[in-house]
Structure 1
């Protein structure tokens, strides 16, 4: 059962990371970064959350 949860976490993590990068690379985010230098919090949340899910999933699959 732990391996199944790990695989699901990895899949969710990959999807979150891609979503975060998509938000980061969007036109509105590029314009915001150009004028204010700020990156949308959704982009950081998606990318960091995705990496955390991938790491946790890999640890569950490993055991």
Structure 2
């Protein structure tokens, strides 16, 4: 994986995690949590997407940092 793409995925993943945490503390999420016991689906998907993107980005950076013997 290209190192630039890995860094971009890591940055996007971190941004999604921050946005997901912010969305999970919003008023609509509080209302949803009051009635269902869970935050909104949007905040959950933002957090999941952020974690996956960050893991893929970190994995690409680790894997891209090793020399290839072709």
What is the TM-score normalised by the length of structure 1? 0.88
Structure 1 counterpart of 2:62: 62
Q: Which is further off, 42-51 or 27-36?
A: 27-36
Structure 1 counterpart of 2:20: 20
| RMSD, aligned CA | 1.4
More helix by share: 1
Unaligned 5+ segments in structure 1 are none
Q: Which runs of 4+ in 1 moved over 3 A?
A: none
Unaligned 5+ segments in structure 2 are 64-70
- Higher Rg of the two aligned structures: 2
What is the TM-score normalised by the length of structure 2? 0.80
The answer to whether the aligner puts 1:43 opposite 2:49 as a matched pair is no
The answer to whether the aligner puts 1:32 opposite 2:32 as a matched pair is yes
* Higher relative contact order, chain-length normalized (CA < 8 Å, sep 6+): 1
